[in-house]
Amino acid sequence: MAAKEKLEAVLNVALRVPSIMLLDVLYRWDVSSFFQQIQRSSLSNNPLFQYKYLALNMHYVGYILSVVLLTLPRQHLVQLYLYFLTALLLYAGHQISRDYVRSELESAYEGPMYLEPLSMNRFTTALIGQLVVCTLCSCVMKTKQIWLFSAHMLPLLARLCLVPLETIVIINKFAMIFTGLEVLYFLGSNLLVPYNLAKSAYRELVQVVEVYGLLALGMSLWNQLVVPVLFMVFWLVLFALQIYSYFSTRDQPASRERLLFLFLTSIAECCSTPYSLLGLVFTVSFVALGVLTLCKFYLQGYRAFMNDPAMNRGMTEGVTLLILAVQTGLIELQVVHRAFLLSIILFIVVASILQSMLEIADPIVLALGASRDKSLWKHFRAVSLCLFLLVFPAYMAYMICQFFHMDFWLLIIISSSILTSLQVLGTLFIYVLFMVEEFRKEPVENMDDVIYYVNGTYRLLEFLVALCVVAYGVSETIFGEWTVMGSMIIFIHSYYNVWLRAQLGWKSFLLRRDAVNKIKSLPIATKEQLEKHNDICAICYQDMKSAVITPCSHFFHAGCLKKWLYVQETCPLCHCHLKNSSQLPGLGAELVPQPHAGVEQNMLQEGTEPANQEHPPGTGMQEGSRDNNECIATRSDSQEGTCDPKEYPSSVKDEACPVEVSLEEKKQK
């Protein structure tokens, strides 16, 4: 069953490729220049070529037929190809009969065939060919009435009956007319089939649009036609034909530079129409997807497919190629200029693929460095891929400097490759720090700050490059040629690569600054307090030689708590809100316990419970704690908490603050 489904999928793509090739040929065909050539030739007197508008209408009819063939359901498409194959077989049968009659007329022998060996050989060969044609036609049409496809055997039967050669020629023409009448009868009997098929298709389309909408209809057609694979196969066929036509006309082997030029010119020849350009776009997308999948497989093996079975990557590179091709008017250029421009565009696409490879490798390499995995093979694969991503972009930038004259755009492209190498260098540096920390068996001080500075340096350089690209694009738009597509590209680039990056970087800086200020506002634990506490850090699970104390009397490493405060501004244990002392003048740090089950659990472990707290039937302590309001406790010199009755009068009445109860019990102990 799986083999049948695969065969149907292959047929679904292969049978639709000719329709796209026909669309491509019709797009290339210039009707005006074609008629000018006809007028200069001997065919100018032919009535078929005297009416230009008739050929122009046939040109549009060809477009319609191509679109119909492209969107036809698979079962009807297979049936149509079988009819076409039957017509070709009938034509082959009549061609065999015509060749046989011509050879008999040239020999001028009208006697019995068994007396002439050459005549007997001609008859036997023609008879075997006609029997094969009849058998294939009956098998294709799935009928046992083989006589329907035997009209072209009449000349052989007449020769076997010793009919004169002049009469055999007439019989051969009669056989051709009879076969033509059969074809016309078949077409006439199925004349309403296209109409009924179009009517049912229109009815189904209307129902789908009414129920699901146009978007669902488009997605359904996209999946049924397998558009990306279809256009990729179409472009690969064009590219293979272009390469074959080149090598079939060349006898001497080409040099390496000649092969590179051949590769670029062949690609340029195969993207001269919108259909071939779409084929190149989808081909690049699949190539990028294959490279990125291979990259992830190299790093993680088969676990890469278990964790991420559908890698939705590769489309970025294809869309990049399409946008650049449309913006530069690629299909309107001459072949040499198109090849030159394609080399730059493909360079940008390769740089994008390398950046996507780095996005895959970066978290895997850092996770491997932070883990305790001692597999040398895993570390070798990670480091070797990073070294490749470090060297290859720099080498590619060097090669583009050798082949092209340097200008601002090439400088921007080269700078993006250099930025990729710098980011890889930063990843390797952090990986080495993780490995050093692993061998030392103790945390490296200010590790988080080092990582932040390394990543921040790369992000700053990336932001500056994006800003330069926008500035150059704006200057070209103002002082150069203005286009709608160019303006849209500049706007999108400004929003995503400049504005959003600036917002993200500023937000990260503010978070770090607030976290540092919070850590500085907290008291540092003394040696006696650490000995009395005698516990590990609840974040990193390491012994504490130094620590800070939160307003809720919890001890943490300053670096660990700072990392936690990057994410949220609460205590990791009791989830009390932490604020800077500058935000509460004269009161110190503010403590706001959030409604969380951990507070009640701590109180249960200490054997206390807030007074006058009712528990509904069937509920526990954790469930009842959800109804408690927030209680603000200000921290005084004696570390005692009090609740503000002005803000929360209903929750404080006849009830002690949970944090206050826990602090008083700790004092009693």
Which tokens belong to 590?
A: 């503010």
In this structure, what are the phi and psi dihedrals at residue 302, rounded to the nearest 5 degrees?
Answer: -70, -15
As given in the structure block, the two tokens for residue 50 are 């005297």
**Sign (positive/negative) of CA torsion 538, 544, 548, 554?**
positive
Distance CA 557, CA 538 (A): 9
Rounded Cα distance, 518 and 539, in Å: 17
H helices of 108-226, in order, are 117-141, 154-160, 165-189, 193-211, 214-225
CA-CA distances (angstroms) from residue 285 to 313, 314, 404? 8, 5, 26
DSSP state of 543: B
Strand partners, 536: 543
- Listed in sequence order, the residues at least 6 apart from 215 whose beta carbon sits closer than 8 Å to its beta carbon are none
Contact 335, 265 (CB under 8 A): yes
Helix 335-370 vs helix 256-269: crossing angle, to nearest 10 = 100
User: Could you say which of 537, 560, 631, 643 is catalytic?
Assistant: 537
User: Measured between alpha carbons, how far is 507 from 175 in angstroms, rounded to an integer?
Assistant: 85
> In this structure, which long-range contacts are made by residues 610-616, counting pairs with CB atoms below 8 Å and at least 24 apart in sequence?
610/655, 610/656, 610/658, 610/661, 611/654, 611/655, 611/656, 612/654, 612/655, 613/655
Q: Is 270 a catalytic residue?
A: no
3-state secondary structure of 311: coil
CB 31 within 8 A of CB 55: yes
Extract the tokens encoding 209: 């649009």
Give the count of beta carbons closer than 10 Å to the beta carbon of residue 215: 9
End-to-end CA distance of the chain: 75
- Alpha-helical (H) ranges within 255-331 are 256-269, 274-300, 303-307, 315-328
Which amino acid makes up residue 346? L
Nearest to 59 by CA among 33, 89, 79, 78: 33
Element (H, E) at 272: none
Angle formed by the axes of helices 335-370 and 376-403, nearest 10°: 150
Q: Starting from the edge strand earliest in sequence, which strands make up the sheet with 590-593, in order?
A: 576-578, 590-593, 633-634
Phi, psi angles (nearest 5°) of residue 397: -65, -40
Residues 6+ apart with CB under 8 A from 169: 101, 105
Catalytic residue IDs? 537
